[in-house]
Homo-oligomer: A and B are copies of this chain.
Amino acid sequence: MDPDAVAKAFVEHYYSTFDANRAGLANLYQEGSMLTFEGQKIQGSQSIVAKLTSLPFQQCKHNITTVDYQPSGSGGMLVFVSGNLQLAGEQHALKFSQMFHLMPTPQGSFYVLNDIFRLNYA
């Protein structure tokens, strides 16, 4: 599988799902998945999606600026993203950085083992 295509397809799928229907992200995570969101540690698909769906904004739009990726040495792939997050009704977009560690599933797909998100305050 072409890692460049995997990284780009994942990023497109992740953020378009986030912006349209956050609950739809559940099947990208598994029980061992970890999210660190602005320093808060959350584990497991159900808890992660509960966090994402309870964020204090309804509509948002991620605009991606950069996508970098590397093999992680265990069949997985590290994907590093930077971009802007536009919240509905807010004048200024928020800059963010996020990294994912994608691991292969037996079905030939990937799930998110590690996810770390940070807003880059000015």
Q: How far is the CA of A34 from the CA of B80 in the complex (A)?
A: 14
CB contact between A74 and one of B74, B97, B121 (< 8 Å): that residue: B74
Name the B residues within 8 Å of A22 (CB-CB): none
| Chain B min CB distance to A79 (Å) | 9
Question: In the complex this chain forms, how many copies of it are found?
Answer: 2
In the assembled complex, the CB of A71 is this many whole angstroms from the nearest CB of chain B, namely 8
* Chain A residues with a Cβ closer than 8 Å to the other chain, count: 28
The reply on A48 being an interface residue by CB < 8 A is no
Contacts of A81-102 to chain B: CB distance below 8 A: 82, 95, 97, 99, 101
Q: Is A64 an interface residue (CB 8 A)?
A: no
Indicate with 1 or 0, residue by residue over A17-57, a CB within 8 angstroms of chain B CB atoms: 00000000000000010101001000000000000000000
Question: B73 contacts A103, CB within 8 Å?
Answer: yes
A101 pairs with B120, CB closer than 8 A: no
Is there contact, CB below 8 Å, between A120 and B118? no
